[in-house]
Structure 1
Amino acid sequence: MKHPVDEYVGKRIRHRRWMTGTTQQQLADKVGIKFQQIQKYETGMNRVSASRLWDIAHAMGVSVSFFFEGLDGEVAPKEASTPGDLLSDREALELLRSYYAIPENQRRQLFELARVLSEAA
């Protein structure tokens, strides 16, 4: 039976991997395991040991605490302020990654355009 924390940590691993454009195979190579193990971590089927989570965090350029952000004392993810779980939407993650690849001055203009369009909708 999957534990909610294992599932949450797995989602955070997957989201970070998507954000950085890293494949499961690339992450597995950096950590020194098979990509199938990464799959099992991301679905929460297998628990990530402390040392393995340390390795994953180092390989992905984040602190270990990144994988627990958003959990409350009840061991349940906090409700998102927007409908649905945006970080589980691959299109939303690709859009976010592309957005931050745009030079800052153009990104600000795009942000303003998006804000105006959303207010008009």
Structure 2
Amino acid sequence: MPLDDALGPDPVDVAIGARMRLRRKSLGISQGVLSERVGVSFQQIQKYERGANRVSGSMLVAIAAALDTTVGWLVGEEGGLSDAADEIVGALAITGAVDLLEAFAAIPRASARAALVTLAQEMADR
């Protein structure tokens, strides 16, 4: 099947990028630090995480080592993620999603968190 850039990133590349971002953020390291560890620019890491560029096999191995995980986990073959969990990982790949989640978790009042959820749902419906 021919690849067509007009169709956007391949869902597999997006899923791999989302797992990269999730793991990187959970370790508390920046794209710059990861890029230094694997020998590419931080812009390249951004492209990998968005799924805009495919990760070669050798780079996937290097990234997995730099993130102290396995290639199997990065490609979704380990860890037993359900379809729902895969959907969540995909949503976390959206720029700003992890930042929003961290800010949400830092809101001390449950009523304020509920109000924010209501606001987001209203904005999504429009």
2:74 aligned counterpart, secondary structure: helix
Which runs of 5 or more structure 1 residues have no equivalent in the other structure? 72-76, 97-121
Which position in structure 2 is the counterpart of 1:22? 29
Aligned residues of 2:16 and 2:76 also touching (Cα < 8 A): no
Q: Which runs of 4+ in 1 moved over 6 A?
A: 93-96
CA contact (8 A) 1:70 1:78 kept: no
Residue 79 (structure 1) shift: 2.2
1:33 counterpart SS class? coil
Contact between 1:18 and 1:93, CA under 8 Å: does it hold in 2? no
Q: Name the CA distance, whole Å, in 1 between partners of 2:22 and 2:46.
A: 13
Any conservation in 1 of the 2:18–2:50 contact (CA below 8 Å)? Answer: yes
1:69 Cα shift? 2.1
Q: Structure 2: 5+ residue runs without aligned partners?
A: 106-126
Q: 1:6 aligns with which of 10, 13, 18?
A: 13
Q: TM-score, normalised by structure 2?
A: 0.61
Counterpart among 28, 33, 49 of residue 42 in structure 1: 49
**Equivalent residue pairs, number:** 90
Q: Name which of 48, 70, 88 aligns with 1:85.
A: 88
The TM-score normalised by the length of structure 1 is 0.63
User: RMSD between aligned alpha carbons?
Assistant: 2.9
